[in-house]
Amino acid sequence: MTAPLLAVEGLSVRFRSGGRMLPAVDGLDIAIAAGETVAVVGESGCGKSVTALAIMGLLPAPPDCAVAGRAALDGVDLLSLPPEGLRRLRGRAMAMVVQEPRTSLNPVFTVGDQIAEAVRVHTACSARAARARAVELLELVRIPDAARRLDDYPHRFSGGMRQRVMIAIAMACDPRLLIADEPTTALDVTIQAQILDLLGDLQARFGMALLLITHDLGVVARMARRVVVMYAGRKVEEAPLRPLFAAPRHPYTQGLMRASPHHAPAGGGRRLAEIPGVVPPLDALPLGCAFAPRCPVAFDRCRDERPAVLPAGDGRLAACFRAAGEAAPA
Amino acid sequence: MKALAGFARRYARNRAAVLGLVLVAIVAAMALAAPILYPESPWEMVGRPLLRPFQNPEFPLGTDALGRDVAAGILHGASVSLTIGIVATVVSVVLGTLVGAVGGWYGGWIDDALGRLTDVFQTMPFFVFALALVAILSPSVGTIIFAIGIVTWPPVARLVRGEFLALKSRDFVQACLGIGMSDARIIATQLLPNCAAPIIVTASIKVATAILTESSLAFLGLGDPNVMSWGTMIGQARDLLRTAWYLTAIPGVVILLTVMALNLVGEGLNDALNPRLKPR
Amino acid sequence: MTGPMLAVEGLAKSYRASRGTVRAFEDVSFAVAAGETVALVGESGCGKTSLAKTIYRLQDADAGSVRLAGTDITRLSRRALRPHRRLMQMVFQDPYASLNPRLTVGRILEEPLIVHGIGDRAGRQGQVRRALERVGLAAAAAERHPHQFSGGQRQRIGLARALMLEPGVLLCDEPVSALDVSVQAQVLNLLAGVQEERRLAMLFISHDLGVVRHMADRVLVMYLGRIVESGPARRIFARPAHPYTRALLAAAPVPDPDVEAARPREILQGDPPSPIDPPPGCGFHPRCAFAEARCRTERPPLRTVGDRRVACHRATGDDEASLRLPFAPQPH
């Protein structure tokens, strides 16, 4: 197997809160091959967005935040890179698109200026060339009448259009890794479909790797090749797309899938399978498996000991004593 | 109770605010002690004129040109300043809150009309306005309070109106409308408690402004002729600035410290009442 | 009682904006019977929240009527409206904005009873306790403030508040869209349970087709302030008749890789038009793959086609405008 494009190993992120350091991400491993789409799925607070920020080097500085582990892009460890080196990679080797299309563009500059700026940060080129490239990029993200829209201000764009502009900015220097953090969560269904389709096309065309962060299993099913499921800062399961949906191994993944109304019959028979309880707060994580208090099949060991992420057959990984095939005590 | 303890803890974290609170407490104690320590009127000529401070233990802060006890003036002045400061602030806050709440809640032409009214009051230079009012009404504690209250409510009205505009579209207010709650009840039980924090902060700073305004009026000879005020003391002593500088310096420093203390308290209240604004 | 609990007839509302008149919604008619769930589906800006606020009388309608258990409440004064408010309550979208942060949960729940002069203090507190228990919270929750609860728990409190007055109609405006999937299921189950037990007439507003498909008996699809299709949920999800409904169903991602892989690549282009300046004819024609000359000039009326009502010139009721199921095949 060739070395992956991005190799995150043992990533841990802690945030300072009220004099304590709380683990937002704990011992996370993710590998993404060039051109591959990996989805990280989980509920709010599971650490998926923090992971993206850690890879991009956009977390707050110590002592508010402590990062440990490795995140190697093409063999270069991003976490130990000085800020200047990281800045050079950001935008060029990797880029990020975030959720909020309303606030992610600066309202006082035209869309064209903001794209051209992204181009010129990384390539020495004339203003004219940058502008020409900006038109190209707007066309790339399928904004109709691109040359004319270049001089519009962001408020003239709809949410979907702004997200396209954000993607254009991210694509300015042909990144090899695109991190998309909930890129369609704030958008309507029909616009979401457009953006997902665009991301898929761009990825196929430029062969970039896509790290898609989402809470939506539907988006995962549409886009991903491999899926990492996170819960309370830890990876609980990782599997190729189809096997994961066909037979999830971790009780949390199983619960998530069953809780989705898509799998219940339409109308009538109204009960959904719920996951009881709530996600534990970071300052009160259980000793053993973080999911144990909500898990229907937890036994004593789950409460005392944290399950490691282990192979669970078919090239899948799961962090569950049950999934690893260990017998429960009587 | 727990909320109160948390509030006290957050307030105590701001050292300057604690100092401010101590100073305000001292001024309050001075005001309370005035009738006990100096039962006679501070206008009484009790000693040799122009005694310097710390020379005669009977007049620790000295005497003025007419032989009146400066210490008695400062203590009685504290009571006058605090009374006027607090009561004028209450007038100003009640008036401003009323106008702001009604305008913010009802909107439309009511808000337009009240907005204009606020503009009229706010565009007039407030000290000149207060001066004119006191001059017309003839100076007394009552008219001074009235004048300060009437010229300082517009910022409160703006503040409350802004808070109301932001709050009234929130779902919890819609929910109250949905259960059929009356406007008065929504304003009093739902909205006002939510803007109590900024109102309290503004009020503490307003007390300082009111004290300063009263002193300025008194300095110009528009104080209540029946009470001793720090401003009056400075006003009467200004001709002797070269020869008896302490007569202006002592009340001046007291005013400075009091106003500064109230501002520090205001800042401390702001931090303690809006914990979200503070970095963790 | 005969007749529907909630009947909306020809309801319309527009706002004045700086650049013209915004038609929030127009000519909206539907009815909800006791024990029935009607879902209102549409994308942001289609007018669904404005419609809910108008029905709930948080704003006044320009035209049309809202009948609550047979009484026309559209133009009642606030005083006259108050007793009727007991019959209809609402659950709001944002669990963080819908509870007053300064009040305890007990006080928030007691407030509707106080306003309507129900019971004495002890009796009201008993009711608060029972309401909290019904929505799955401990009675001790009454002592605490909203910020001490998670989003899902707050939404339970919001539901408890809506139930305090024992309404017959429950309006739910995106009640679970701010919640995580695992918590969403809890709240949906709770809503469905309460509805069944009290035979509530429920208007369920949502943009999430998966949730709507699960909850609704009937569906209203809204586009640009008008209802473009309505009918039994099962039928609409199996065979959408309006091209917009069809596009919506095609666009919604489904958590099933097989369905996603087999999905026809049919993407609706462009953004919805501005409600300030709606296109002539059918509001959907600029984005519609089936639009013809007539669609650009003549607004299609909402007419009965087979088992539903559709506002489309081209809908025929046969298979022509139907679509392969984008949802998981149903084993039941």
Question: Could you tell me which of B233, B201, B239 has the C-alpha nearest to residue B214?
Answer: B233
If you average pLDDT over residues B123-140, what whole number do you get? 91
Tell me which chain C residues have a C-beta less than 8 angstroms from the C-beta of A260. 181, 185, 210, 255
> What ipTM describes this predicted complex?
0.87
Q: What percent of chain C has pLDDT over 70?
A: 94
pLDDT bracket for residue A18 (50, 70, 90): confident
Put simply, the answer to whether A189 touches C252 (Cβ < 8 Å) is yes
Question: Which residues of chain A lie closer than 8 angstroms to C284, CB-CB?
Answer: none
Supply the mean pLDDT for chain B: 90
Q: pLDDT at position A277, please?
A: 87
Decide if pLDDT at A19 tops 50: yes
pLDDT band at C322, cuts 50/70/90?
very low
CB proximity A17 to B under 8 Å:
yes
What is B2-33+69-273's CATH number, 2.40.50.140, 1.10.3720.10, 1.10.10.60, 3.40.50.1370?
1.10.3720.10
What is the bridge-based pairing of β-strands C218-223 and C37-41? Answer: parallel
Q: What whole-number percentage of chain C has pLDDT above 90?
A: 74
Question: DSSP 3-state assignment of C167?
Answer: coil
Q: Smallest CA–CA separation between B115 and chain A, in Å?
A: 30
- The pLDDT assigned to B276 comes to 53
Predicted confidence at residue A63, as pLDDT, reads 83
Indicate if the pLDDT at residue A290 is higher than 90.
Answer: yes
The domain C6-216 belongs to what CATH superfamily? P-loop containing nucleotide triphosphate hydrolases (3.40.50.300)
Q: Compute the distance between CA of residue B228 and CA of residue B226 in angstroms, rounded to an integer.
A: 7
Beta-carbon pairs below 8 A across chains A and B = 4
DSSP per-residue codes, B201-225? HHHHHHHHHHHHHHHHHHHTT-S-T
Model confidence at B169, in pLDDT bands (50, 70, 90)?
Answer: confident
Q: Is A274 on the interface with C (CB under 8 A)?
A: yes
Query: What is the pLDDT confidence band of residue B7, given thresholds at 50, 70 and 90?
Result: confident
Is 60 exceeded by the pLDDT of residue A327? Answer: no
pTM of the model: 0.86
* Nearest CB to C85 within list B172, B174, B178: B178
Which range, A271-275, A282-286, C196-200, C289-293, has the best average confidence (pLDDT)?
C196-200
Kindly give the pairing relationship between strand A65-73 and strand A76-77: antiparallel
> Is the pLDDT score of C133 beyond 70?
yes
What is the pLDDT confidence band of residue A270, given thresholds at 50, 70 and 90? low
Q: What are the structural domain ranges in chain C?
A: 6-216, 237-323
Q: What percent of chain A is modeled with pLDDT above 90?
A: 65
Average pLDDT over residues C132-151: 93
Res. A51: pLDDT tops 90: yes
Question: Which of B171, B182, B194 faces C102 most closely, judged by CB atoms?
Answer: B194
* Range name among A50-54, A190-194, B57-61 with the lowest pLDDT average: B57-61
* pLDDT tens per residue, range B73-108: 999 999 999 999 999 999 999 999 999 999 999 999
Angle among Cα A61, A115, A88 to the nearest 5 degrees reads 40
Long-range contact list for B257-261, CB < 8 A, 24+ apart? B257/B23, B258/B23, B258/B24, B258/B27, B258/B78, B258/B81, B258/B208, B258/B211, B259/B208, B259/B211, B259/B212, B260/B20, B260/B23, B261/B19, B261/B20, B261/B21, B261/B22, B261/B23, B261/B24, B261/B27
Collect all residues from C whose CB is shorter than 8 A from any CB in B. Answer: 53, 56, 58, 78, 81-82, 85-86, 89-90, 92-94, 97-103, 111-112, 115-116, 158, 161, 165
Distance CA C28, CA C31 (A): 10
Q: How confident is the model at residue C323 (pLDDT cuts 50, 70, 90)?
A: very low
Neighbours of B15 (CB within 10 A): 10
Chain A, 125 to 164: residues with Cβ < 8 Å from chain C are 158, 160-161
Closest listed residue to residue A275, CA positions, set C152, C253, C91, C158? C152
Name which of B7, B172, B182, B200 to mutate to probe chain C: the one with the most chain C Cβ atoms within 10 A of its Cβ.
B172
* Confidence check: pLDDT of A330 > 70: no
